[in-house]
Amino acid sequence: QKEVEQNSGPLSVPEGAIASLNCTYSDRVSQSFFWYRQYSGKSPELIMSIYSNGDKEDGRFTAQLNKASQYVSLLIRDSQPSDSATYLCALGRGSEKLVFGKGTKLTVNP
């Protein structure tokens, strides 16, 4: 199993809908998890960090972490066309690095 797995998509949702992005990971030791948004040709931009089980909300974004099941998800409510991007899931491996998934491409249709 790859260290961080994401469905590559593309995931297509209509404007105003909830977009659900999922990520599974294999390293049970990881304690820190992140969601980045990357527009085409641009750098990754941090959206959310989550360190403990449960939900964490920030505006239209909610991150969910379940360490027992080894998954982390990102919900985007009231999706906008400007949310169309690739979303990268990352986890902290020790103190050295982030390990990234390959990303899920999201398209929000007007």
Partner 1 sequence: EAQVTQNPRYLITVTGKKLTVTCSQNMNHEYMSWYRQDPGLGLRQIYYSMNVEVTDKGDVPEGYKVSRKEKRNFPLILESPSPNQTSLYFCASSPEPSGGSYEQYFGPGTRLTVT
Nearer to partner 1, 8 or 66 (CB): 8
Q: What is the full DSSP assignment across 44-71?
A: -EEEEEE-SSEEEEETTEEEEEETTTTE
Token pair for 39: 């527009």
Token pair for 109: 């249709």
> What string marks each residue from 18 to 47 as x (binds partner 1 by CB under 8 A) or -?
-------------xx-x------xxxxxx-
Q: How far is the CB of 103 from partner 1 (least distance, A)?
A: 7
Using CB under 8 A, which residues numbered 65 to 94 contact partner 1? 88, 92-94
Pairing of strands 61-66, 97-100: unpaired
Place of tokens 């027992």: 68
Using CB under 8 A, which residues numbered 48 to 67 contact partner 1? 49
Chain contacts with partner 1 (rule: CB under 8 A): 31-32, 34, 41-46, 49, 88, 92-98, 100-103
